[in-house]
Structure 1
Amino acid sequence: MAQTNLDELPRLSSVHVLVVDDSPEIRMLVADVLEAGGATVTVAETAEIALDRLERLRPDVLVSDLEMPGGDGYWLIGKVRELPPERGGATPAACLTGCSEPEDRASILRAGFQYHISKPVDIRTLVGVVAILALPP
């Protein structure tokens, strides 16, 4: 991640974010950045755990890796979008992935994510996307 002054970024106070990544390092790095911005963060290491936590905790925003063993990000967003809105089916979501070709971006957006964030992630982009997704509809 590029060096950024966190004071210059949007504040994420009262925003609850569910971060899903099979890499403990990426998961904790993303969580630390979002928490430094004021967000409350819940983490999950698999898509199945994330789906359970999303239904139980109802976060404001989902940030998920795409390529994970077992259920991947496509599986997760598909399951989320099958849920009724009152159970989390309309949760705004960003995909955080190393897949950055135009066709990858198109597939990610078609699958149900609102944003594609490329790895390595830029802190400004990450916080900015979460802030946008957390805006009331």
Structure 2
Amino acid sequence: MRQAEAPPHPPGGLQGAHVLLVDDCADALMPMAALLEMCGAQVDTADNGFTALERLRQAHFDVLVSDLRMPGMSGVELVRAMRADRELDQPLAIAYTGFTAMATRDVVEAGFDAVLTKPLGIDQLEATIQRLQARPRPTKA
């Protein structure tokens, strides 16, 4: 007797969103990417800020989700470089971190639209992306 296959995960609230997920820890990066895909997002990944900045130059992303503490280029340095480059599309930017010593205000002032703390649940991330996407955005000059 053949076992029934599990039904596919229903499309989530991120259908059509193109997300760049950045984290230097593969144990965090890959599962989060898979969960975002289950929510309907198209996900690209980068394991450092330099690679992420290059990907931002090569493709359009709706959302950047980045860890803050990474070697070489931190998430704060990444978002500052992205916001300073007027040639780039300016995706929504969400910081996620287990490093709580940095004030949320400082992270937002650097250019992030939201800050979430680890451990990060996919429901929390999905709801944050949806909330930010629903906000009116300034047009690119």
Counterpart code for 2:93: A
SS in 2 for 1:113: coil
Aligned to 1:81: 83
Aligned to 1:127: 126
Match of 2:46 among 44, 66, 79: 44
Measured in 1, the distance between the counterparts of 2:88 and 2:69 equals 25
Contact 2:12 2:38 in 1 (8 A): no
> What RMSD, in angstroms, separates the aligned Cα atoms of the two structures?
1.8
Q: Quick one: percent identity of the two aligned structures?
A: 35
For the pair 1:69 / 2:68, whether they are aligned, the reply is no
More helix by share: 1
Structure 1 pair 132/55, CA: closer, same or farther in 2 (3 Å)? farther
More moved, 127-136 vs 70-79 = 127-136
Measured in 1, the distance between the counterparts of 2:64 and 2:21 equals 6
Cα offset, 1:96, TM superposition: 0.8
Cα offset, 1:10, TM superposition: 5.1
Measured in 1, the distance between the counterparts of 2:34 and 2:132 equals 18
Measured in 2, the distance between the counterparts of 1:58 and 1:83 equals 14
Cα offset, 1:134, TM superposition: 3.2
Higher relative contact order (CA 8 A, sep 6+): 1
Measured in 1, the distance between the counterparts of 2:107 and 2:12 equals 25
Contact 2:12 2:40 in 1 (8 A): no
For the pair 1:35 / 2:37, whether they are aligned, the reply is yes
Who wins on radius of gyration, i.e. which is larger? 2
Contact 2:21 2:46 in 1 (8 A): yes
Contact 1:61 1:133 in 2 (8 A): no
What TM-score do you get using the length of structure 1 for normalisation?
0.85
Match of 1:21 among 20, 23, 37: 23
Aligned to 2:112: 113
Cα offset, 1:133, TM superposition: 3.0
Aligned to 2:6: none
Aligned to 1:3: none
- Count matched residues: 128
Contact 1:108 1:116 in 2 (8 A): yes
SS in 2 for 1:68: coil
